Structure 1
């Protein structure tokens, strides 16, 4: 018996050693987060198992592409190497005060959500009622998990994580979901919260959701149906759309790939890699080669007949994910760099512009991104429409510029980021509008500052500041894109004046949107008095806007750009750990 017991102990020790070595490899390789210092077990499986659903159009095993097995390559360093003096400046009492102010705003908003809308998707901040807009699974709760963790609100995180681990994806207030929104908010939120905390139940819940969303690819041509009708998905009756936004189809890869990395199941990576190959195949065949039209025909095999092009709404994150996928895969797939570089070169040539200023105004060295209509036969018309959504482009250009050693793109990224910062300061409220028209410089030097001719007048009058011609949409919806780019540019360049830009933005937003218990979207940024609260606080207020404000005033090593890549909902996903160069 003693010999048998010794043998069993030896076997248990061998198994334990094997598991320990395996986990050490995974943690060291950056595929799993470090083990948490605490654990709670509250995971409860959903009542419907999507892995048991018969597939109507199964993808053959031979067509499932495995995750790349090459070791990650050495990637250039992204973050500025802050000196001891710069770190002291970044950590002084002023920055700590600002960080505390942002955290206080987050605690107010979270407390109101927790009291009046717990478990629902959003809080209506004026009436203090709940509303379900994304399936009724608690979008604000799941979207905010990593914000709570990053801001040190660990008690609130634990409460929210326990709720998230017990979500039943079968219990929903909606019969139809957006694949895009569910992916970036729920799947991205769960994966980031797991990457930060190591709480296993969050990964299990993410895998359940991933298996559900995987059903969107059970279509005749295996391209995804963004209109995820739950009953039809169960029956294998989904079809891809003839008019689908490029953002909807191009903004799945980060989350699906990270899920494959964490679970070892390559099917998630494989279906989005096929989309990558379609983007790659069609990039030079559109009416504006290098860019894809806003809408694609997925039902008939990824056709690109459209004539409208933008980096803004309905296209934005399809471009954002090109450089970020290069990072997440450790630089082993050259397609992402090629597509990113082509797209940015075309955007610089056709979409970006410098705005006009009067002689009496400071002609700031700033840029904006507009829209283009192209007929494929040489007629390319710029529409100088500026969207708040498009303010992410500064961060995108700068990140790609560092990653692919393109210093000119870092400079362009800074001009774009500062352009949106300027647009904030130009309004009476200090907050940028949702959509506006500007007067653009023209000709071959469109990216250089220019001025109005002596007697030149704006088409719709001079009542708006600087190059603004018309405010097409006066609202501010608590959006994050402008502070996102300011944050990324600060982390990349170390220029401390960006901290002042960020603080002025935050103070203006707080003054314009604050309610008794939280913050609300507003109807008019161009007024000196009442801004008109809309009674809306989307989940990205906590998930993105306040997170970026908090991080810019924090220790630069908190969620380093060399260790994490942010999805389009600002959820930090842990990168593999190749050595970083000094570029």
Structure 2
């Protein structure tokens, strides 16, 4: 272990040791609230950040559990992959004018937010868009800057991109004031951000791959455990001091199962097998477990990564699980269809998702829409919870339907996407809340509107089933529930991308202009109420057209949300889904050529 100042070794070692003893009864990360892979994990202690010389710096120690033989990238001949994108016809001059006008509106929103970040939070993780201050939420390594690199390229903001390239030279990934590093978030935002920009610029800027290697080699240290499963909330100072680490018995599914795209791309670009080996071991464990969970085909919300047990009774495709399922068809694409492993896993997952989680929502206009709910055990009643984070599923099912030749599921993908569009359209602000509960249909193929059922579902949800119609009306009024909605326990909008993500993907798959129209409604509604003097802010209540704004702007606003809005109004060959795979943070990785 190297220290910038040798005199700090003893007090630093004592501090780390006492901290470890104090919290050793908790699994790594257990004291940190988790919302999903797109949620902040708290702010650093008040006061100025420590001087770089006062910090421990991570340097690789001799591995305690070295790999004796790496699992190589599959070298078998690739299988043909069906085309994903619609064959778009040439557009008229008038249609192009309208489309570009909308695209420029999105670009202006990005430029406004980027200007505020650059002026008030440069090289910090996030801008606070109301106070013009900053937050350090993801290691203090300029998360918004790195996350936005490929968006700058896509939007043609090359002067700003060049400025960002100069700035990333100053990011030191060997140290942080955080006591734990969230490996998953670091992977998708930082590693993904560098790789996406590198691929999108055809490798023209070597600094991007250099920084990607820095990040990947750093978080690779989290895999040095007895079973080579990563410690997802990595106690990096233990590794830096040559002390052992172990994976947590309470590991979030998404944090375990969503590292494969980025690590696969690292091996493809560097020819270093260690990255692919690391994630392939996880995939093999997940595939083995998939048939023996209490709901075969699905994995529970939490995993005991120490003993690789899957006993948690909760199942969902929402927050804390989402990207594990999202990456099944995407990793198949990243591997050029050289293995059927991800096809098998996707087949099993989709069969179980359709059987156990999907339900049709009852709407007063008779729309045929689907949502994925939650379930606690096989045979239990679906919890009819719609969640903004689950809105990714329409796009994932759409991609799966194309690449795995499952055309019958395109209608499922569209109904899931339409469900999230509906949840936007019914709110006074035109924006879907974080979480809402909806009234499920008794039958998917026969679902006429029923006022009485809606009211009974509301009373049941609020544990007032015996109180009757007057109580139902009071709940509707007090909670401002649109028809079909039975509860809105979290009414915020956090600038999230999942709904526009699926709208974009389904537009590229189908060419349906109605999806572009829906995207424009969504963008105008979001831009109107989130705009601040300095950037854009999350809002407290989507039921209130004059909602309070919140002093948060996560990096995914620039990395994902505005990128997807821009791309749906781009020409279809810009980041074509037949040339790129977008990771869960919307970073585009080049798909391998069939001959490579």
- TM-score bracket for this pair, using the shorter chain length: 0.7 to 0.9
| Aligned match of 2:570 | 554
Shift of residue 259, structure 1, vs aligned partner: 0.5
Superposed, 1:5-154 pairs within 5 Å as 52-60=60-68, 62=69, 64-84=70-90, 87-88=91-92, 92-154=96-158
Q: Distance in 1 between matches of 2:454 and 2:348?
A: 36
Contact residue 352 and residue 447 of structure 1 kept, 8 A: no
Contact residue 179 and residue 227 of structure 1 kept, 8 A: yes
> Once superposed, what is the RMSD of the aligned Cα atoms?
1.7
Contact residue 355 and residue 450 of structure 1 kept, 8 A: no
Q: Does 1:522 align with 2:539?
A: yes
Q: Distance in 2 between matches of 1:523 and 1:130?
A: 19
| Aligned match of 2:26 | none
1:447–1:57 CA distance, 2 compared to 1 (3 A): farther
1:354-384 deviation digits (Å, cap 9, x = unpaired): 1113xxx21101111110110xxx5322100
Q: Does 1:511 align with 2:502?
A: no
Residue aligned with 1:381, SS: coil
Contact residue 424 and residue 431 of structure 2 kept, 8 A: yes
Structure 2 residue ranges without an equivalent (≥5): 1-54, 460-471
Q: Does 1:393 align with 2:393?
A: yes
Residue aligned with 1:275, SS: helix
Contact residue 363 and residue 449 of structure 1 kept, 8 A: yes
Residue aligned with 2:336, SS: coil
Q: Distance in 1 between matches of 2:56 and 2:146?
A: 20
Residue aligned with 1:570, SS: coil
Q: Distance in 2 between matches of 1:111 and 1:173?
A: 26
1:515-552 deviation digits (Å, cap 9, x = unpaired): 11210001100013x21111000000000000000000
1:90–1:148 CA distance, 2 compared to 1 (3 A): farther
Q: Does 1:155 align with 2:172?
A: no
1:285–1:356 CA distance, 2 compared to 1 (3 A): same
Shift of residue 175, structure 1, vs aligned partner: 2.4
Shift of residue 220, structure 1, vs aligned partner: 1.3
| Aligned match of 2:580 | 564
| Aligned match of 1:194 | 198
Contact residue 289 and residue 346 of structure 1 kept, 8 A: yes
Q: Distance in 2 between matches of 1:412 and 1:245?
A: 27
1:427-476 deviation digits (Å, cap 9, x = unpaired): 0000000011111113xx43664432657624243441121101010000
Superposed, 1:434-449 pairs within 5 Å as 434-442=434-442, 445-446=443-444, 449=447
Contact residue 215 and residue 233 of structure 1 kept, 8 A: yes
Contact residue 50 and residue 208 of structure 1 kept, 8 A: no
Q: Does 1:429 align with 2:426?
A: no
1:74–1:50 CA distance, 2 compared to 1 (3 A): farther
1:96-116 deviation digits (Å, cap 9, x = unpaired): 010000000000000000000
Q: Distance in 1 between matches of 2:78 and 2:92?
A: 33
Q: How many residues align?
A: 519
| Aligned match of 2:356 | 350
| Aligned match of 1:227 | 233
Indicate which of 273, 284, 288 corresponds to 1:281.
288
Superposed, 1:253-268 pairs within 5 Å as 253-268=260-275
Contact residue 385 and residue 438 of structure 1 kept, 8 A: yes
| Aligned match of 1:369 | 372
1:543-562 deviation digits (Å, cap 9, x = unpaired): 00000000000001000000
The alignment's TM-score, normalised by the length of structure 1, stands at 0.87
Indicate which of 262, 274, 277 corresponds to 1:270.
277
Q: Distance in 2 between matches of 1:576 and 1:189?
A: 18
Q: Distance in 2 between matches of 1:91 and 1:260?
A: 42
Q: Does 1:467 align with 2:465?
A: no
Structure 1 residue ranges without an equivalent (≥5): 1-46
Superposed, 1:306-317 pairs within 5 Å as 306-317=312-323
| Aligned match of 2:177 | 173
